[in-house]
Amino acid sequence: YFSWEVLRFLLSNLRMWIEDYRFDGFRFDGVTSMLYHHHGIGTGFSGDYNEYFGLHVDEDALCYLMLANHMINFLHPECITIAEDVSGMPALCRPVAEGGGGFDYRLAMAIPDKWIQIIKELKDEDWNMGNIVHTLTNRRYEEKYIAYAESHDQALVGDKTLAFRLMDAEMYTNMSVLSPLTPVIDRGIQLHKMIRLITHALGGESYLNFMGNEFGHPEWLDFPRKGNNESYHYARRQFNLTEDHLLRYRFLNTFDRDMNKLEERFGWLASPPAFVSEKHESNKVIAFERAGLIFIFNFHPYQSYVDYRVVIWHHSLIVIFKYKILLDSDAAEYGGHQRLDHSTEYFSEEYPHNYRPNSLMV
């Protein structure tokens, strides 16, 4: 139970961090534990609405969260609030005026877990395209999600970064451009780019990068503690790795820069959710359209395609749309194999495909 004094203390705390320390927002940790009397312990949330409404909901805690978000939004509308909620509480990220929780965003926590699970447990040929798409698109309409490919938990001691999961010990020996491009490093670099781009473009309404993920940082993060003799050795990110032109980290970093610049130009994060036209299990191809861009991902471990037809969302039978390659993970500047001709122009045509009237041959 929250007394009025406790409420005043908590709310004044929020104001202090914003007004005295110039914080520009808050991530509310472990919101699920606050929302329910059972604290989410031993509870699997399937999406059934009975799981979100009833006497098991802690109304005092929910009321505090609504008050906190309302106060922050009223006094400092430039600030954002983010909920870390694994339960998927409906309307948690809708305005308080609508009866919602008032958060601006929620973390799409299933996405980084999914990538790690796939990489750890499945062979490349067993990746399930439908399962990947479902995880990236399984969110409540008009509640904004923060998508991320890697979480801070994965980069702490005892776990591995996404890049290290993909390439492991070879990162210490074969990331130099002077050494041969091994299958492990080649696969790791290409998948690292694709995983980030599909997460960015399909997974939410904003994108979160964990420090070092943008260039495939190899090592974990560890702060001084008794267990490591108070060492600062791993309490760091080696940003110098991107500046060494003899190392392949710069390819990953350049791709990340151009991916974000392309989003700035077209604004897919602020656009409605993507229209997914293909999740082909045997071809290992995912295709979707968002913000007027067509995204095509080939996750097949060894098969490339020519003259591959994909759906175009538009209905017009009169206007012909012209497309050009804007971002290509296979480009040389990103450590790719340069298999696509960037001067090629692609035109929409009235040719039915995947139950749509118009398509494009790429």
Angle at 258 between CA 255 and CA 260, to 5 degrees: 110
Task: Answer whether 284's CB lies under 8 Å from 307's CB.
Answer: no
Q: 78 an active-site residue? A: no
| Length in residues, the chain | 362
Question: If DSSP codes are grouped into helix, strand and coil, which group holds residue 172?
Answer: helix
Burial class (CB in 10 A: 0-12, 13-18, 19+), 36: buried
Task: Answer whether 136's CB lies under 8 Å from 87's CB.
Answer: no
Alpha-helical segments (H) within the chain: 4-19, 31-35, 59-75, 110-121, 129-137, 162-167, 183-202, 249-266
Q: 104 an active-site residue? A: no
Which structure tokens are listed for 357? Answer: 């009237």
CA 106 vs CA 52, 103, 283, 285: distances in Å: 16, 7, 33, 28
Diameter over CA atoms, the chain: 71
From 51, 60, 84, 159, the catalytic residue: 84
From 19, 29, 153, 333, the catalytic residue: 29
Q: Which residues are catalytic?
A: 29, 84
